[in-house]
């Protein structure tokens, strides 16, 4: 499938008119470049003179009613600006006729997103420990925001029940089109029986992980949290579970195959392990880790079901990425991992 061109995604002339009318500092011509990373909303770099912004719009084609809601994403960023580490909101346009879809602009931050390698400026154990601590500090700050006072409404006290229900239903729909995985069914029952009472609700980012934040170029200081598409009101420990489900050494048996070449960056010397990270969050937030195994298992459960859905597309020859074939063996690895976490 051919990627849509810039012209198919944005009417640059219309965007230029909107920006010059709505954003102080103009008028002037725009430079617009498509950002190729990511698999969700379309992202672009937009410049006008010395101003540099990021534009987000939904992908082309028909969308589910609540999917890719960039206006909602903008409202979260606007409510959190000055209270959590989010980019400065600039402008939002709900009228799809302007560039072809609703969109928003936020400031473009200058920094580095850590994926497979550490920045050379702070690639040593003490700085890696600080990178990890910053991940926890920024998350604690986010979860401490008074969301009602910030203008965000929502009830999150049934969040965990809804999450377990949503993902177990997704597995029920996927399983007839892939294969039986009795171990995954056992996890479903384990989760249903152990849903903890939610002590407090907060803003939940929904996809909080190392490559969804940005650090300064010259020091391990977290300067921005990105990708607010899945943000909601819910149980804050769900964010911690998701972060730590992809952190450090997962504890799989020796010789277990891995999806990626080499170890995760968070396995490098200096990065605290999962238990240390959970203890750090507990100390800084005051929230108990008594039921953390539930949140950890729930996060791996969601990932396993998402990947099994991609494997389904591979089997049905509708997968956009041939690497989806790898999930035939990798999802069972995740199931085994969940059972070890359940036994801890």
Q: What is the pLDDT of residues 161-174, one digit of tens each?
A: 999 999 999 999 99
pLDDT band at 4 (very low <50, low <70, confident <90, very high): low
Q: b or e along 66-89 (b: 16 or more beta carbons within 10 Å of the residue's beta carbon)?
A: eebbbebbbbbbbbbbebbbbbeb
147: helix, strand or coil: coil
Closest CA to 52 of 10, 98, 111, 97: 111
CATH of domain 120-343: 3.90.1200.10
- Bridge-based pairing state of the strands 202-204 and 89-93: unpaired
Instruction: Give 204's strand partners.
Output: 232
pLDDT band at 261 (very low <50, low <70, confident <90, very high): low
pLDDT at 63 over 60: no
**The whole model's pTM is what?**
0.92
Q: At what angle do helices 292-315 and 159-174 cross, to 10 degrees?
A: 30
- Bridge-based pairing state of the strands 222-225 and 213-215: antiparallel
| Rg of the chain on CA atoms, in Å | 21
Parts of the chain belonging to CATH 3.30.200.20: 6-107
DSSP string, 311-332: HHHHHTT--SSGGGGGHHHHHH
- 194 CB burial (10 A radius; 0-12, 13-18, 19+): middle
33: helix, strand or coil: strand
User: What's the confidence (pLDDT) of residue 2?
Assistant: 57
CATH of domain 6-107: 3.30.200.20
User: What's the confidence (pLDDT) of residue 65?
Assistant: 41
pLDDT band at 198 (very low <50, low <70, confident <90, very high): confident
Q: Taking a C-beta distance cutoff of 8 angstroms, is the pair 298, 163 a contact?
A: yes
Sequence-ordered alpha helix ranges (H) in the chain: 6-9, 12-22, 70-80, 125-144, 159-174, 182-193, 237-244, 274-285, 292-315, 327-343
Convert the pLDDT of each residue in 129-155 to its tens digit: 999 999 999 999 999 999 999 999 888
Parts of the chain belonging to CATH 3.90.1200.10: 120-343
For Cα atoms 195, 245, 178, give the angle at the middle one, nearest 5 degrees: 80
pLDDT at 64 over 60: no
For Cα atoms 135, 141, 146, give the angle at the middle one, nearest 5 degrees: 150
- 151 CB burial (10 A radius; 0-12, 13-18, 19+): exposed
């Amino acid at each position: 499938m051919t990627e849509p061109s810039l012209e198919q995604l944005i009417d640059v002339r219309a965007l230029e008119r909107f920006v010059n009318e709505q954003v102080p500092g103009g008028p002037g011509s725009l430079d617009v470049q498509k950002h190729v990373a990511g698999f969700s909303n379309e992202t672009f770099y937009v410049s006008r003179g010395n101003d540099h912004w990021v534009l987000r719009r939904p992908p082309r084609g028909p969308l589910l009613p609540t999917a890719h809601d960039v206006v909602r994403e903008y409202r979260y960023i606007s409510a959190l600006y000055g209270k959590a580490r989010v980019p400065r909101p600039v402008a939002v346009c709900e009228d799809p006729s302007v560039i072809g879809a609703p969109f928003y602009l936020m400031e473009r931050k200058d920094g580095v997103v850590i994926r497979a390698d550490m920045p050379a400026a702070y690639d040593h154990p003490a700085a890696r420990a600080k990178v990890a601590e910053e991940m926890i500090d920024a998350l604690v700050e986010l979860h401490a925001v008074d969301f009602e006072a910030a203008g965000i409404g929502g009830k999150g006290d049934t969040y965990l029940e809804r999450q377990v229900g949503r993902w177990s239903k997704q597995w029920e729909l996927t399983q007839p089109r892939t294969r039986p995985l009795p171990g995954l069914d056992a996890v479903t029952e384990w989760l249903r029986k152990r849903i903890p009472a939610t002590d407090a609700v907060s803003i939940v980012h929904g996809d909080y992980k190392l490559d969804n934040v940005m650090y300064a170029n010259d020091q391990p200081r977290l300067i921005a949290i990105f990708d607010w598409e899945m943000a909601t009101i819910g149980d804050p420990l769900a964010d911690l579970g998701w972060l730590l489900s992809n952190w450090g050494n997962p504890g799989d048996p020796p010789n277990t195959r891995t999806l990626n070449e080499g170890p995760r960056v968070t396995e490098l010397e200096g990065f605290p392990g999962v238990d240390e990270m959970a203890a750090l969050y507990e100390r800084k937030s005051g929230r108990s880790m008594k039921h953390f195994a539930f949140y950890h298992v729930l996060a791996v459960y969601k990932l396993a079901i998402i990947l099994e859905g991609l494997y389904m597309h591979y089997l049905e020859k509708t997968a956009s990425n041939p690497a989806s074939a790898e999930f035939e063996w990798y999802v069972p690895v995740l199931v085994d991992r969940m059972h070890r976490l359940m036994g801890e």
